Amino acid sequence: MEIRQRILIVDDNKDNLYALERMLSGTGAQVIRASTGNEALIASLNNEFAVAILDVQMPGMDGYELAELLRGTQKTRNLPIIFLSAIYSDDYHVFKGYDAGGVDFIIKPYNPRILINKVRIFLELDRQKEESAEANRQLQREVADREKAEAGLKHAMAELARSNAELDSFAYSVSHDLRAPLRGMNGFSQALLEDYSEILDEQGKDYLCRICSESERMSQLIDDLLNLSRVSRAEIRREPVDLSGIVRTIAAEMERREPDRAVEFLVEEGAEVNGDARLLRLVLENLLGNAWKFTQKRSRAKIEFGRKATNGECAFFVRDNGAGFDMVYAGKLFGAFQRLHSASEFEGTGIGLATVQRIIHRHGGRVWAEGAVGQGASFYFAL
């Protein structure tokens, strides 16, 4: 909104006031008249002025005294003052005017165009001052808005962390409580099989076997869920971790467990990172376990571990030449119980990558995957 600027003119002579007002009407500013110092002070209390023009010789309070008073008041401290004087044109009075806070001293008779141009300059300065003050206020409003938004975000994040923690402890106790009845089902099915096998026909025995294997599967799912919620609750303890060393240990362990598999391991040495050693080991166990599992149909399986620089950050990767996956579903991989391969083809419950993602996120890092059907997969993480 454009606020009209105001000019204060003070003169005890009505004709002078009238002439000044007419002269200044072309500036577009509103002219406020005062015929005494007191009137001027009252006007200055109720209005903002861009510039004031004071007659020096006035009965009672003269222009200098008025200027002193205006300068001593907070609101008009920086008001530019132009003195007009017919009588005092000597240096002494001119400088007295400057001392009183005047910015200019014009001696009558004067050329109206000179006065008008000087007033215009002060109006322009005032406008610029007002604009930068407004820009400043706008900036302050924006800063305040941003601070408010940040506080809101912080609050929402704390809220989310709290409800996540609640959900995790809920999952933990539910999974925990599910185990007992499941054990019961499994146990009684076994008992039926053992103690009543003469009474049951083959189909009956088959049903019981299925109940047993399904309950074992469910027990595995519960274990996985419990592990996942443990990962979320565990405290992160950071220390330098030798990832290359961990990869070598896990590879040796897998080779020992399945000596029939011939898998070539390529491990880059010296890959170190700051993080929680126990949790990062779990990440590598899952990624290498997957690589091992999804290369089982390759006659020349190859698993690589190394570092790669990607847009300014250093990412670690586990790469294999196994079954691969369709990139269309790359976003699904990290969800709990999400599997792209059937259990008959490759066994598993689909919790490994969900665990990996949680651990990496808890370190403040990110994890992603690349792959193609039949052409292997690469899993990256950066901390």
Ligand X SMILES: Nc1ncnc2c1ncn2[C@@H]1O[C@H](COP(=O)(O)OP(=O)(O)OP(=O)(O)O)[C@@H](O)[C@H]1O
Residues 60-69: contacts with CB under 8 Å, at least 24 apart: 60/36, 61/36, 61/37, 62/37, 63/10, 63/37, 63/97, 63/100, 64/96, 64/97, 64/100, 65/37, 66/10, 66/37, 66/40, 66/41, 67/97, 67/100, 67/101, 67/102, 68/100, 68/101, 69/37, 69/41
Nearest to 351 by CA among 222, 180, 163, 174: 222
Which residues on neighbouring strands pair with residue 381, listed in sequence order?
316, 367
Q: Residue 88 or residue 317: which is nearer to Mg ion going by CB? A: 317
Q: Name the binder of 11 from Mg ion, ligand X, none, CB < 5-8 A by kind.
A: none
Stretch that binds Mg ion, among 42-50, 144-152, 192-200, 347-355 (CB under 5 A): 347-355
Q: Indicate the DSSP class of residue 348.
A: -
Between 190 and 349, name the residue whose CB sits nearer to ligand X. Answer: 349
Q: Which stretch binds Mg ion (CB under 5 A): 95-103, 141-149, 303-311, 346-354?
A: 346-354
319 strand-pairing partners: 304, 378
Token code pair at residue 37: 């110092």
Q: What does each C-alpha distance from 76 to 57, 69, 118, 151 come to in angstroms? A: 21, 9, 19, 39
CA distance 115 to 82: 9
The single-letter code of the amino acid at 138 is Q
Residue 320 binds what, of Mg ion, ligand X, none (CB under 5 to 8 Å, by partner type)? ligand X
In the chain, count H helices and then E strands.
9, 12
| Residue in this structure with the two tokens 């205006």, named with its chain if needed | 70
Which range of residues in 175-183, 235-243, 283-291, 321-329 is near Mg ion by CB under 5 A? 283-291
> Is residue 352 involved in binding Mg ion (CB under 5 A)?
yes
377 binds, among ligand X, Mg ion, none (CB under 5 to 8 A by kind): ligand X
66 Cβ neighbours under 8 A, 6+ residues apart: 10, 37, 40, 41, 54, 58
Say if CB 80 and CB 51 are below 8 A apart: yes
Minimum separation from the CB atom of position 380 to Mg ion (A): 16
The count of other CB atoms within 10 Å of the CB of residue 285 is 19
340 binds, among Mg ion, ligand X, none (CB under 5 to 8 A by kind): ligand X
Q: Which does 324 bind (CB under 5 to 8 A by kind): ligand X, Mg ion, none?
A: ligand X
Q: Which is nearer to ligand X, 6 or 358 (CB)?
A: 358
Distance CA 18, CA 21 (A): 5
**Min dist. Cβ of residue 289 to Mg ion (A):** 6
Nearest 10 degrees: CA dihedral of 239, 242, 247, 250?
-60
* Count, residues near Mg ion per rule CB under 5 A: 2
Write down the least CB distance from residue 379 to ligand X, Å: 7
Q: Which CB atom, from 49 or from 368, has the smaller least distance to ligand X?
A: 368
**Using the rule CB under 5 A, which residue among 5, 27, 290, 355 binds Mg ion?**
290
Q: Which is nearer to ligand X, 40 or 353 (CB)?
A: 353
Interacting partner of 241 out of Mg ion, ligand X, none (Cβ under 5 to 8 A depending on kind): none
Asked if 357 is part of the footprint of Mg ion (rule: CB under 5 A), the reply reads no
Least Å distance, CB 248 to ligand X, is: 19
What are the structure tokens assigned to 108, written together?
A: 């009558």
Closest CB to Mg ion among residues 30, 338 = 338
Does 63 bind Mg ion (CB under 5 A)? Our answer is no
Q: CB under 5 to 8 A by kind: which of ligand X, Mg ion, none does 51 bind?
A: none
For the CB of residue 309, give the shortest distance to ligand X in the complex, in Å. Answer: 22
The one of ligand X, Mg ion, none whose footprint includes residue 339, by CB under 5 to 8 A per kind, is ligand X
Instruction: Compute the least distance from the CB of residue 287 to ligand X, in Å.
Output: 8
Cα–Cα distances in angstroms (integers) from residue 96 to residues 69, 86, 286, in the given order: 15, 15, 88
Residues that bind ligand X (CB under 6 A): 224, 286, 290-291, 294, 320, 322-325, 333, 338-341, 348-354, 371, 377
Q: Nearer Cβ to Mg ion, position 127 or 341?
A: 341
Least separation in angstroms between residue 204's CB and ligand X is 32
Query: In terms of Cα–Cα distance, which of 23, 24, 64, 19 is closest to 40?
Result: 64
- Positions touching Mg ion (CB under 5 A) are 290, 352
